[in-house]
Structure 1
Amino acid sequence: MKISFVEPHLKIYGGIRRIIELANRLTERGHDVTIFHSDGSPCQWMKCIAKIKSYGEVLKEEHDVIIYNDPNPIDYKLVKKAKAKLKVFYVLELYQKSLLKGINPKIYLPWNKRMLILKKCLCSPYLKLSNATWEKKWLKENMNIDSILLLGGVNTKIFHPVKVKKNPNEIRILCSGDPRQRKGTKTILEAVEIAKKEEPRIVLDTYYGKGIPQEKMAEKYCSADIFVEGSWHAGWNNPVAEAMACKVPVICTDIGGVKDFAFHEKTALLVPPRDPEAMAAAILRLIKDEKLRETLRENAYQHIRQFDWDRSAKRLEEILNYELSIKKGSISKIYVAIRNPRKALDKVKTMLREALQRRGRFDKYERLGAYHWDFYKNDPVYRAHVDYIVENWKKRPSGTLLDVRCGDGLISCLLAEKGFEVKGIDIEKEGVRLAQRKCSSVVFEVKDVFEINEQFDYLLASEVIEHLPNPNEFLQKIKGLFRKEALITTPKRNYYKELDPYHFREYSIFEFESLLEKYFKNFQVEASEYHLYAWVKKNGNG
C-alpha cells in the first residue's frame, strides 16, 4: 500500500512520536510510506525510515491511504483535496469536549477555530480511528460517531528499566515539566512544595526542553523514585506509559488518557486534576509505603508491556486492508443498488435486523448448534480453558454446583462426571435443548439467574459477564447463591483486536479485579494468555 501521513511538523511531541513509530513499522512491513509535513525537513530527534516530503508534494501524488490527526486548517484542506482511495482521521485528542456535543454556538468564536475544525473532521465521511478506549466510547455515546480503536504502544528499546546510581539523601520526583497549562505542571509544583514541608528530602526534576537524546530517556526516568503527571486531559498519556515501562512508580491524574493502563492502587495512584493537595498526599503516601511502590512498579511494568508498536502497526495494516477491500467492492454494489433498489433495501434491512438480534440475544446456538462440544475437540485454546476449569474443580470436595449460563452443557457435563451434583441454567432455550440432548446426568433448565433463590455449595459463571450490559446486578445476585466457593471466568482483553460482537465489554486483569472488589473480599484472580479466572471464597465476602 502507498500510505501517507499528513502532519503539521516533526517536532518532539507525543502525537508525532506515534506517527513515526507507526510509519517506521509499516515501512518495515513493505509498504510505501511517506510523512508529509510543513517544510519536509528530516526528523531531528527520532529515527524515521519512512520517506519525508513537504506539504507541497501531497496534491502531486495519488495515495492508497492518507491519514491525518491534527485539526489545523492546512492539514484539513490538504486531505480534503488529496486523491486517495481511503481517507482516515486518527483522533488523538478531543480537547474541549463540551464544544463538540450537539449545537454549541461558542464553537464558532474565533479562538475556538481549532475545535470547529476538529468537529468537521469528526463529522467527515472519512474512516475514524480512536487513540484510546475512552475516546471511542465518548465519540459513540456523545456524538454517535463510530470509530475503530487503534491503541499505541511503548518502544521498549528506548523505554526500559536501567540501573541508575541514586543519592540516598534525596527523594527524586520526576515530571515532564511541559509548560502548557493543560499539562498540569503548575499543580505538580504546588504539590511538591506542600509535600516538602513534611519530607524535605524531596527534589523535583524535569526533562522537557532539555534536549535529552532518546537513548538517554530511560536513564532519566529511572533516576526518579516517583514519576508524577498532572494533565487536565489527554488522548493517550505517553509520559505515564513510558515511566511504567521504565519500572518507575507513577502518580497521575484520573483522566481518560490513562484509563487503558493506570488503575488506582494497582498500577498507579490516581488523583483528581488540578488538586495539589491530593497530589501531595499521594506523593507522601508512596514515599512512606515501600511495599505499595513495589506493587505499582511491578504491576504497571507487566501491564504496559502488552502495548506494543509492532502490534499496533499490524492492527493498522489489517484495518486499512479491510477498508480498502470494502471500497474496492463498493462500485459494483452501487451499480447493483441502482439497477435493483428493492433488493438493495431488503439486504440493508436484513443486515440491520441481524445486528440488532446479536446485540439483544445470543443466537449462536441456532446458527452453530452445540458448538462448545466441537470447540473442545478441535480448538486447543478452548480445550485448555475448559480443562483448567474442570481440573481445578476436581480438587474441591464434591457437592452441589450451579452452572450459570451453562449454554450447550459441555462444562456442566464434565463436572458431573467428576462427581458434582450439577444444575445448569440458561436463558437461551436452544442452548438448554442441546444440553439436554448431550447430557442426561445434569438437570438443565431454561431459567434466569435472577429467578434462582436456593443455595448451592459451588457456583460457576464461565464466560458470562462479558455478555452483560450490567454485570454489577449479576455479581450482586450470585453473592447469595453459593455456600463455599465460586469461579467466575472471562476472556482476557486483547487491546489490538476488535470487541467480539456478542460482548458488551472485555476486561484486563486489573479492570476485572476492580469490578469484583465491589462485591467480594476474599478472591484470587489467575490469568492465562487468553482468560481470567477469579476464585471467590464465601468466607469474608462483603
Structure 2
Amino acid sequence: MNITFILPGYPSEPSGGFRVVYEYANHLVERGHEVSVVHPAYTYSSGHPIYRSTSPRIDWQYIHEKVRMIYAPSLDEKYIPDADAVIATAWFTADYVHHYSHRKGKKFYFIQSFVTWYGFDKVKRTWLLPLNKIVISKWLYQLGLKFGVPVTDITYIPNAIDHNKFRLINPISKRPKTIAMLYSRIRIKGSCDGIKALQLAKMAIPDLHAVLFGVPKRSTEIPGWMDYIQTPSQEDLVDKIYNGSSIYLCSSWNEGWGLPASEAMACGCAVVSTKNGGSEEFCIHNQTALLSPPKNPDELAKNLILLLKNDPLRMKIAENGLQYIRKFNYNKSTDLMESHLLSIVKQK
C-alpha cells in the first residue's frame, strides 16, 4: 500500500500524538509499504495558525529512512501525494482529507483524543464526516457511537508501547520512595492537582522525593523540594526517571490514552492515576494501578501514601502492571492497522 499520514503541523517539541504516528509509519515501511508523513508549515495555538519558516529537527523520535517526510506550505491538495490511503490525524486535518479527490486514497481519520479547547461543536462535527474513523481507546469508541458515528465507520485499535525502549532496568523491589510525574501547562493534564497531591503525601511521608519532567521551563508552581527535568532525553526518561521511581502519578482530567503512564508501567512503576478515560485501558483499579476521580488531589494523595506505606502492595501493583502492559505492543497494533487499511482500500 501507499499510505499518507496528514499531521497538524511541524512538531516544535516532543509530542505523544506525533510519536504514535511516526511509530506506525516506521512499522508500516518495515512491512514493505510506502509511507509519507505530511507536515504543514504551521502549528495551531488557541485555534490560530502559527507559521514556521524552517522544518524542525526531530531528534526525540527515530524515523525510518524509508519514511518520506514532507514539509509542505499548507495542506492544499496539490502538496499531497497520490496514495491508496490518506489519514487525517487531528480535527482540522479531517476537513482537508474530506475534500481531497479520490486520487489521494481512501479516507481515514485517526483519533487519539477528544479535546474541546477549539470548540466542542467544531471538533464533534469532524467525527461525523464520511471518513473511516480509527480510535485508540474504548472510551473514544463509545464516544463516537454516542455522537452518532455508525458502527461500520469506527474501528478500535489500541495504542502500543515500544517495549525495546520502555523496559525494566532497575528491579521493582529496589526502588526509592520517588514519584515521577509529567508536568504540563495544559489545564486538562491536571498538573496543579498532581502537585497538590504530592505535597499532601510529603506531609505524611517526609522522606518522599518527587521528580517532574516536561517540555516547558520550570514553573514557579513547582515547589523547590521537587526536582524538575526539562525535555529529558529518551535515555534519561527511561533509565533515570521511570526506572528511578517507585510510583508514577497521572493527574489528568482527560486522556485519549495516556502514553507516559503506560511507558512508566512498562518500566516497573506502580501507577496512581485518575479515571481519565484513556488510562483505564491499562489501569485496572487494585490490580494494575490505583484509580480515583479526576480533580481530586486528596484521593490521589491517599493512594500515593497507601503504596508508599505498603511496599508489598506497591510491588504487586507494579508487577501486575508490568505484565499487563506487555499486551499493548506495536506488532499487534500494526497488524490491526495494516489489516484495517487493506480491508478499506480493497473496497470498490
Measure how far apart 1:36 and its partner are: 0.5
Measure how far apart 1:142 and its partner are: 4.2
Q: 1:52 aligns to what?
A: 69
Measure how far apart 1:321 and its partner are: 0.8
Q: 1:43 aligns to what?
A: 58
Structure 1 residues 165, 137: CA separation in 2 closer, same or farther (over 3 Å shift)?
closer
Is 2:318 the partner of 1:297?
yes
Distance (whole Å) between structure 2 residues aligned to residue 206 and residue 35 of structure 1: 32
Measure how far apart 1:22 and its partner are: 0.4
Measure how far apart 1:46 and its partner are: 0.6
Q: Out of 183, 208, 219, which is 2:214 matched to? A: 208
| Cα contact 1:59–1:81 (8 A) shared by 2 | no
Q: 1:148 aligns to what?
A: 155
| Aligned residue identity for 1:9 | Y
Q: Out of 184, 202, 211, which is 1:178 matched to? A: 184
Alignment of 1:445-524 (within 5 A): none
Measure how far apart 1:75 and its partner are: 6.1
Q: Out of 269, 272, 275, which is 2:293 matched to? A: 272
Distance (whole Å) between structure 2 residues aligned to residue 28 and residue 94 of structure 1: 30
Alignment of 1:20-39 (within 5 A): 20-39=22-41
Distance (whole Å) between structure 2 residues aligned to residue 229 and residue 5 of structure 1: 29
Structure 1 residues 22, 167: CA separation in 2 closer, same or farther (over 3 Å shift)?
closer
Q: Which has the higher helix share?
A: 1
Measure how far apart 1:261 and its partner are: 0.8
Give unpaired runs (5+ residues) of structure 2. Answer: 42-54, 216-229
Q: Secondary structure at the match of 1:87?
A: strand
Q: 1:231 aligns to what?
A: 252
| Cα contact 1:2–1:32 (8 A) shared by 2 | yes
| Cα contact 2:98–2:130 (8 A) shared by 1 | no
Distance (whole Å) between structure 2 residues aligned to residue 28 and residue 79 of structure 1: 28
Q: Out of 316, 324, 329, which is 1:308 matched to? A: 329
| Cα contact 1:41–1:52 (8 A) shared by 2 | no
| Cα contact 2:97–2:107 (8 A) shared by 1 | no
Give unpaired runs (5+ residues) of structure 1. Answer: 97-111, 329-542
Give % identity. Answer: 24
TM-score normalised by the chain length of structure 2: 0.83
Measure how far apart 1:144 and its partner are: 4.2
Q: Secondary structure at the match of 2:104?
A: strand
Superimposed CA distance per residue, residues 300-349 of structure 1 (whole angstroms, 9 cap, x where no aligned partner) = 111100101122112111101111112x2xxxxxxxxxxxxxxxxxxxxx
| Cα contact 2:157–2:333 (8 A) shared by 1 | yes
Q: 2:195 aligns to what?
A: 189
Measure how far apart 1:79 and its partner are: 5.4
Measure how far apart 1:204 and its partner are: 1.5
Distance (whole Å) between structure 2 residues aligned to residue 150 and residue 212 of structure 1: 29
Distance (whole Å) between structure 1 residues aligned to residue 207 and residue 83 of structure 2: 57
Q: Secondary structure at the match of 2:204?
A: coil
Distance (whole Å) between structure 2 residues aligned to residue 198 and residue 315 of structure 1: 46
Alignment of 1:355-394 (within 5 A): none
Distance (whole Å) between structure 2 residues aligned to residue 113 and residue 286 of structure 1: 38
Q: 2:16 aligns to what?
A: 14
Distance (whole Å) between structure 2 residues aligned to residue 136 and residue 23 of structure 1: 23
Structure 1 residues 142, 115: CA separation in 2 closer, same or farther (over 3 Å shift)?
closer
Distance (whole Å) between structure 2 residues aligned to residue 211 and residue 245 of structure 1: 20
| Cα contact 1:2–1:31 (8 A) shared by 2 | yes
Superimposed CA distance per residue, residues 364-409 of structure 1 (whole angstroms, 9 cap, x where no aligned partner) = xxxxxxxxxxxxxxxxxxxxxxxxxxxxxxxxxxxxxxxxxxxxxx
| Cα contact 1:90–1:129 (8 A) shared by 2 | yes
Is 2:82 the partner of 1:81?
no
| Cα contact 1:158–1:217 (8 A) shared by 2 | no
Measure how far apart 1:145 and its partner are: 3.6
Measure how far apart 1:239 and its partner are: 1.1
Q: How many aligned positions are there?
A: 310
CA RMSD of aligned residues (A): 2.2
Alignment of 1:319-398 (within 5 A): 319-326=340-347, 328=348
| Cα contact 2:168–2:243 (8 A) shared by 1 | yes
Superimposed CA distance per residue, residues 100-142 of structure 1 (whole angstroms, 9 cap, x where no aligned partner) = xxxxxxxxxxxx6453442232111110111101111222134
Q: Out of 305, 308, 311, which is 1:284 matched to? A: 305
Q: Out of 245, 256, 273, which is 2:277 matched to? A: 256
| Aligned residue identity for 2:186 | R
Measure how far apart 1:166 and its partner are: 11
